[in-house]
Amino acid sequence: MADHCPTCGRPLPQKPKDKDIVTDAAALLAILRSRGDMQVYRGHNTHRWFITYRGGEVDADLVRELASKRVLRQCYSDHSDAYGLEPTIDMEATLERRRQTGDRHLLVYAA
């Protein structure tokens, strides 16, 4: 791929390479903080971890390390395939409260 546009000569934006894996805690936390609702999730039927909205891959050992230090928290109380910086959402309580109130955007966080 060319580094510059053949027509105007301006630098072309670089797509992240599939082989780029985030292995640094500071880099991962900066990415997650850049947008409040970003998460790290385990790919379906795999042991690979990815970042939402970016498509980047994260080193599995880094996810385990940050989760064990409670820097990353489970996103949902019913499974541990997604982690983020926000408090854990209690899925059963959220669904029950939504049924009661009719507010489909309401979230109940785990204690």
- Condensed to tens digits (0 to 9), the pLDDT of residues 19-77 reads 578 999 999 999 999 887 889 999 988 889 999 986 689 999 999 999 999 999 999 88
Q: Which residues pair with 50 in a beta bridge?
A: 41, 57
pTM as predicted: 0.70
Q: Where are the domains of the chain?
A: 21-85
Residue 61's contacts (CB-CB under 8 Å, 6 or more residues apart) are none
- Model confidence at 6, pLDDT cuts 50, 70, 90, reads confident
| 60 three-state secondary structure | helix
Task: Label residue 85 exposed, middle or buried (CB < 10 Å: 0-12, 13-18, 19+).
Answer: middle
Cα 72 versus chain centre, distance:
10
